[in-house]
């Protein structure tokens, strides 16, 4: 919270009038922010409700509201007002509600986000909006919000008990790129899931459906679960602008990122109207991109650092030596840099981590990599950087539970990481 702003007016007389203007500050906190009810078998007894507290950490009274209740959990407020917006909190005040999974749920994993808003308000044209997905575009406004993650599993009796011989339970995940989150669902083996029941939204784009592949070339309408499965959202630019490249069209998962980096002059095509999104990003390309982000400052190699495989007249030479002298990149030993080699995902994380440190941005790493099945294969030298990149959502998993640290980073993936870095790391600190 910023300090009070003080204005002093001194009239001609013998008195002084001081006015104090306090800047309004809105912040809600949920404790706990994540509530898990574990797992049970079918015909379960409804678990005991858990309490979640909402605290107003701001300096202004707020009303609490929500757009929709969870589908599979019951929320009970201490008193049920005629309208949810009538629940209010003074600064420092806390209000608690009870949450419990609904009774009689089918076998599956249930994961939902319950969002509580401060001073939720609908504009007159927005009275028909029913969900958060369309809230902003329909005209809903709020000062701040807090999200509570809810989870509960109804497992088949055979899972974890060693008997019963029932069908396995599999998870369907939805990768939406820059679109709104769609919670994963879990069903028993052989269940067919109608994908029309799941929709994401994204400002300035139309949702075109779900696809079987990340490149969004194979559209599907349903999935029969025989194992864990990930589907990918397709997007089409709503304003009808012509795409910059013939091979990255609206609906491609990286379309927005490619247009973004191209528009900012960070990455360009490879000729013939193509971007080559699946082509690996080389170590020379990546430092050249960072050099462009710096505005291509005047630079002359002092000879302090010299790589035997980087000639001074190479197109990437200035970027390589600028990055090396500023501690952003290192060689691979034997006096070499390997500029034409593909950059791996862990190398990219390390380079962006060092670049962020060079810029003075926050480089503290929170969390760990335990969510990924191949976490043990991450190099010790890159672990902290990769934790930071995952925490900042620059790099995510591959959809199969792995982070693939030694896999090559494609040009499309690099474009997406660049856009996220600019928007979520650099912009807030500028």
The DSSP annotation for 70-137 comes to -SSEEEE-SS--SSGGGEEE-TT-EEEEEEEEPTTPPSEEEEEEEEEEES-EE-GGGTT--SGGGHHH
Q: Is residue 251 predicted with pLDDT exceeding 70? A: yes
The CA-CA-CA angle for residues 426, 428, 430, to 5°, reads 65
pLDDT of residue 87: 73
Q: Transcribe 295-318 into DSSP letters.
A: T-------SSS--TT--TTSTTHH
- Residues above pLDDT 90, as percent of the chain: 28
* pLDDT in the model for residue 364: 86
pLDDT score of 74 more than 70:
yes
The pLDDT, as a whole number, for residue 428 is 62
Residue 303 CA to residue 120 CA, distance in Å, equals 60
* Residue 322: band (very low, low, confident or very high) from pLDDT cuts 50, 70, 90: very high
pLDDT beyond 80 at 4: no
| Partners of 105 in beta bridges | none
Give the pLDDT score at 19: 62
The pLDDT of 341-358, averaged and rounded, is 93
Pick 130 or 416 by higher pLDDT.
416
Residue predicted with more confidence, 141 or 313: 313
Q: Is-contact 354 329, C-beta < 8 A? A: yes
pLDDT bucket at 412, cuts 50 / 70 / 90? very high
Output the pLDDT for position 162: 42
429 has pLDDT over 60: no
Which of 363, 365, 375, 368 lies closest to 405 in space, CA to CA? Answer: 375
Across the chain, what does the average pLDDT equal?
81
Confidence (pLDDT) at 284: 93
Which 3 state secondary structure label does DSSP give 401?
coil
pLDDT of 286 = 94
Helix (H, G, I), strand (E, B) or coil at 24: coil
The answer, yes or no, to whether residue 222 has pLDDT greater than 90, is: yes
Question: Residue 122's pLDDT band (boundaries 50, 70, 90)?
Answer: low
Q: Please compute the mean of the pLDDT values over residues 247-275 and round it to a whole number.
A: 87
Domains of the chain: 24-166 (2.60.40.10), 168-241 (2.60.40.4270), 270-429 (no CATH)
Q: Taking residues 370-399, what's their average pLDDT?
A: 88
> Tens of pLDDT along 102-113?
998 888 888 888
Q: Judge whether residue 289 has pLDDT over 90.
A: yes
Interstrand relation of 62-65 and 87-89 (parallel, antiparallel or unpaired): antiparallel
- Would the pLDDT of 45 be above 50? yes
| Mean pLDDT, residues 15-37 | 78
* pLDDT value for 215: 66
Mean pLDDT of 369-381: 89
Q: Summarize the confidence of residues 123-145 as an average pLDDT.
A: 50
The DSSP code sequence of 217-241 is -SEESEEE-SS-EEEEEEEEETT-P
Mean pLDDT in residue range 332-356: 91
The answer, yes or no, to whether residue 303 has pLDDT greater than 90, is no
Q: What local confidence, expressed as pLDDT, does residue 328 receive? A: 93
Please count the other Cβ atoms lying within 10 Å of the Cβ belonging to residue 188: 17
Other C-beta atoms closer than 10 Å to the C-beta of 24 total 10
* Residue 309 pLDDT: 92
Residue 30 has pLDDT above 70, yes or no: yes
Which tokens hold the place of 409? 């980073």
pLDDT band at 161 (very low <50, low <70, confident <90, very high): very low
pLDDT-based confidence at residue 36 (cuts at 50, 70, 90): confident
């Amino acid at each position: 919270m910023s300090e009070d702003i003080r204005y002093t007016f001194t009239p001609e007389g013998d008195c002084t009038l001081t006015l104090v203007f306090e800047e309004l500050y809105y912040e809600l906190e949920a404790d706990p922010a994540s509530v898990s009810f574990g797992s049970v078998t079918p015909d379960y007894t409804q678990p005991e409700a858990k309490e979640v507290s909402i605290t107003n950490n701001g300096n202004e009274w707020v009303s609490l509201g929500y757009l929709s209740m969870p589908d599979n959990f019951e929320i009970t407020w201490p008193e049920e007002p005629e309208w949810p917006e009538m629940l209010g909190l003074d600064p420092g005040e806390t209000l608690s509600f009870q949450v419990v999974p609904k009774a009689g749920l089918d076998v599956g994993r249930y994961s939902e986000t319950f969002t509580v808003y401060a001073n939720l308000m609908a504009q007159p044209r927005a009275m028909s909006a029913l969900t958060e997905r369309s809230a902003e575009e329909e005209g809903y406004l709020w000062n701040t919000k807090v999200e509570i993650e809810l989870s509960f599993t109804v497992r088949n009796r055979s899972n974890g008990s060693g008997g019963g011989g029932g069908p396995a339970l599999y998870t369907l995940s939805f990768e939406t790129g820059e679109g709104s989150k769609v919670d994963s669902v879990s069903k028993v083996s052989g269940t067919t899931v109608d994908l029309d029941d799941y929709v994401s939204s994204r400002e300035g784009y139309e949702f075109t459906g779900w696809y079987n592949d990340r490149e969004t070339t194979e559209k599907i309408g349903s999935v029969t679960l025989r194992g864990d499965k990930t589907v990918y959202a397709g997007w089409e630019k709503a304003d009808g602008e012509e795409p910059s490249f013939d091979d990255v069209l609206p609906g491609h998962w990286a379309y927005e990122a490619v247009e973004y980096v191209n528009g900012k002059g960070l990455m360009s095509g490879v000729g013939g109207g193509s971007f080559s999104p699946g082509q690996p990003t080389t170590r020379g390309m990546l430092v050249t991109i960072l050099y462009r982000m710096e505005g291509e400052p005047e630079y002359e190699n002092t000879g302090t650092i010299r790589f035997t495989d980087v000639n001074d007249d190479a197109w990437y030479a200035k970027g390589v030596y600028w990055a090396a002298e500023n501690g952003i990149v290192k060689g691979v030993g034997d006096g070499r840099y390997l500029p034409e080699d593909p950059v791996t995902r862990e190398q990219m994380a390390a380079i962006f981590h060092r670049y962020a440190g060079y810029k003075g941005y926050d480089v503290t790493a929170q969390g760990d990599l335990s969510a990924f099945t191949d976490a043990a294969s991450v190099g010790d030298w890159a672990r902290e950087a990769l934790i930071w990149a995952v925490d900042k959502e620059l790099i995510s998993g591959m959809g199969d539970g792995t982070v693939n640290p030694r896999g090559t980073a494609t040009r499309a993936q690099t474009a997406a990481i660049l856009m996220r870095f600019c928007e979520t790391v650099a912009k807030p600190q500028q």
